């Protein structure tokens, strides 16, 4: 057994124990829904920082962003402006969402929509969108984890990587069931610490060994230009709209995902959210540095069949075996944390908005149904990864992202105005969902669509184009529905909450 594999196994087994031990963290009755699902809304600034960081910057992110940079160059860097402008949005919009959620006992975004617009059908639409966004995201965490399992210890367990993946995930489902959100919150401390160590080491060692950043970029530029599908270290003119719309659209949808909402609502005060908006960009800096590793991969002459393997290969090439084991463990644990939170987030939506409906008295109800659903969500995702081609998971995730943004008018704008009629929001949502799906199919599941507008073609982010359509439909039909005197549902939020 290699040193790398031993280090990896010890770290992953260690966090598993933490996951089960988390049930004893703080005095709590884990049979209560909000204790299991939101850690009792008691997390302070530090815990929330690790939890949100561990949740939003997933294993898949740390593998896929450098892989994209390795594959296409500058365009892949859109993740950095995305992860920058997301935080002013958190500071203003999500802090407001937290305070309404706290007063009215929401566990999900669909709870808010149900309460605010008094519409059962809109509640279900918002909940199903969240579930559709979360499922493929969990599957991709598993894909990221499998990539690591294939490389750890020089490929020592590559042959049984599928079995190892299944074991790791079944254990994850078990401690998610027993400990709820406390498990990923506790494990996130380990995950984030390991990730910071691995990335800082990589960013100091690798470019220096390649002759410095100047040499890395120069070599990457010439290799990218010589490829059959040429890439570039700068954005070509035709990709600027794509770059900006991808960054903007992604930043709007980031906090609509159920796992983001779940982590956010576990904070103990609005101040914790605002402080974290200022502190979480530390992870974005880390993400930016990791993205640059994609260029290091090109400059180091690493050739891979699957570009997701670039980061594990870089660690295997430039570091001793035991340290590569630390980096691999960081990524594998980095998959477990968000996967657990996503399963909890999806389960919350099923249990509180699909199988039952929002009511302000519900929070102290039993966690049992949600716990069972979390297990089912995990089982579904594992089956998806084991039996369906990875490419379909990626397509589904891409679609899920475009769909997720379609709840923006109801969830985010709904925090500020009730001008939109609930049925208009539902219609806009439906049009947005269909348009996003149609554009994705038409482009062969790429994130961008060439929009022909006023004699020019704008290649831009499908999710954002669909949102524009969604908003136009909702804006046109709202006054129409009101003039027809079709009643809008009652607003359950107290006037003071939204004022």
Using CB under 8 A, list all residues that contact another protein: 74, 77, 80-81, 83-85, 87-88, 91-92, 212-217, 233-235, 240, 243-244, 247-248, 271, 274-275, 277-279, 281-282, 284-285, 288-289, 292
Q: Nearest distance from residue 234's CB to another protein, in Å? A: 5
Q: Nearest distance from residue 165's CB to another protein, in Å? A: 33
Q: Nearest distance from residue 139's CB to another protein, in Å? A: 29
> Which is nearer to another protein, 235 or 379 (by Cβ)?
235
Q: Nearest distance from residue 242's CB to another protein, in Å? A: 10
> Which is nearer to another protein, 172 or 210 (by Cβ)?
210
Q: Nearest distance from residue 287's CB to another protein, in Å? A: 9
> Which is nearer to another protein, 125 or 296 (by Cβ)?
296
> Which is nearer to another protein, 298 or 344 (by Cβ)?
298
> Judging by beta carbons within 10 Å of its beta carbon (0-12, 13-18, 19+), is residue 25 exposed, middle or buried?
middle
Reported residue count of the chain is 499
> Which is nearer to another protein, 247 or 404 (by Cβ)?
247
> Which is nearer to another protein, 484 or 496 (by Cβ)?
496
> Which is nearer to another protein, 211 or 320 (by Cβ)?
211
Distance of CA 339 to the CA centre of its chain: 9
Q: Nearest distance from residue 231's CB to another protein, in Å? A: 14
> Which is nearer to another protein, 87 or 255 (by Cβ)?
87
Q: Nearest distance from residue 467's CB to another protein, in Å? A: 15
Q: Nearest distance from residue 110's CB to another protein, in Å? A: 27
Alpha-carbon span 121 to 127, nearest angstrom = 10
> Judging by beta carbons within 10 Å of its beta carbon (0-12, 13-18, 19+), is residue 123 exposed, middle or buried?
buried
> Which is nearer to another protein, 243 or 255 (by Cβ)?
243
Tokens of 66: 């450098």
Q: Nearest distance from residue 117's CB to another protein, in Å? A: 26
> Which is nearer to another protein, 33 or 82 (by Cβ)?
82
Q: Nearest distance from residue 205's CB to another protein, in Å? A: 15
| 184: nearest Cα among 129, 98, 125, 260 | 260
Q: To 5 degrees, how large is the angle CA 314–CA 318–CA 323?
A: 95
Alpha-carbon span 370 to 351, nearest angstrom = 5
């Amino acid at each position: 057994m290699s040193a790398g594999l031993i280090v990896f196994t010890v770290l992953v087994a260690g966090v598993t124990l933490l996951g089960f031990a988390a049930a004893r963290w703080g005095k709590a009755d884990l049979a209560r829904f909000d204790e299991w699902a939101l850690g009792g809304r008691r997390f302070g600034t530090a815990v929330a920082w690790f939890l949100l960081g561990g949740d939003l910057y997933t294993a898949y992110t740390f593998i896929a962003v450098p892989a994209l940079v390795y594959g296409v160059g500058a365009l892949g860097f859109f993740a950095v402006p995305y992860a920058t402008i997301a935080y002013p949005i958190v500071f203003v919009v999500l802090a407001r969402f937290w305070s309404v959620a706290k007063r009215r006992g929401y566990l999900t975004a669909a709870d808010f929509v149900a309460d605010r617009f008094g519409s059962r059908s809109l509640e279900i639409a918002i909940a199903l969108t969240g579930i559709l966004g979360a499922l493929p995201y969990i599957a991709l965490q598993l894909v990221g984890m499998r990539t690591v399992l294939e490389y750890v210890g020089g490929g020592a367990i590559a042959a049984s990587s599928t079995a190892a993946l299944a074991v790791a995930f079944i254990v994850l489902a078990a401690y998610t069931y027993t400990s709820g959100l406390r498990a990923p919150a506790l494990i996130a401390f380990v995950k984030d610490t390991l990730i910071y160590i691995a990335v800082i080491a990589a960013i100091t060692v690798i470019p220096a060994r390649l002759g410095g950043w100047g040499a890395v970029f120069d070599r990457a530029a010439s290799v990218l230009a010589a490829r059959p599908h040429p890439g570039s270290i700068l954005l070509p003119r035709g990709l600027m709209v794509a770059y900006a719309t991808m960054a903007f659209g992604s930043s709007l949808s980031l906090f609509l995902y159920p796992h983001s909402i779940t982590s956010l609502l576990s904070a103990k005060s609005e101040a914790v959210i605002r402080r974290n908006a200022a502190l979480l960009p530390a992870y974005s800096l880390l993400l930016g540095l990791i993205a640059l590793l994609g260029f290091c991969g090109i400059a180091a002459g690493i050739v891979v069949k699957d570009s997701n393997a670039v980061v594990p290969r870089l660690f295997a090439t430039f570091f001793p075996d035991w340290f590569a084991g630390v980096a691999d463990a960081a990524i594998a644990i980095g998959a477990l944390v968000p996967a657990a939170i996503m399963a909890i987030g999806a389960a919350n939506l099923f249990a509180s908005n699909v199988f039952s409906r929002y009511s302000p008295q519900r929070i102290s109800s039993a966690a049992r149904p949600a716990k069972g659903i979390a297990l089912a969500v995990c089982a579904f995702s594992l089956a998806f990864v084991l039996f369906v081609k990875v490419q379909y998971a990626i397509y589904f995730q891409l679609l899920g992202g475009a769909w997720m943004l379609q709840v923006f008018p109801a969830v985010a704008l709904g925090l500020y105005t009730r001008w939109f009629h609930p049925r208009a929001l539902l219609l806009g949502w439906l049009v947005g969902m269909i348009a996003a799906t149609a554009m994705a199919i038409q482009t062969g599941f790429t994130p961008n669509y060439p929009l022909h507008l006023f004699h020019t073609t704008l290649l831009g982010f499908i999710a954002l184009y669909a949102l524009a359509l969604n908003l136009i439909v909702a804006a046109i039909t709202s006054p129409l529905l009101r003039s027809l005197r079709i009643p809008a549902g009652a607003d359950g939020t107290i006037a003071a909450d939204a004022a």
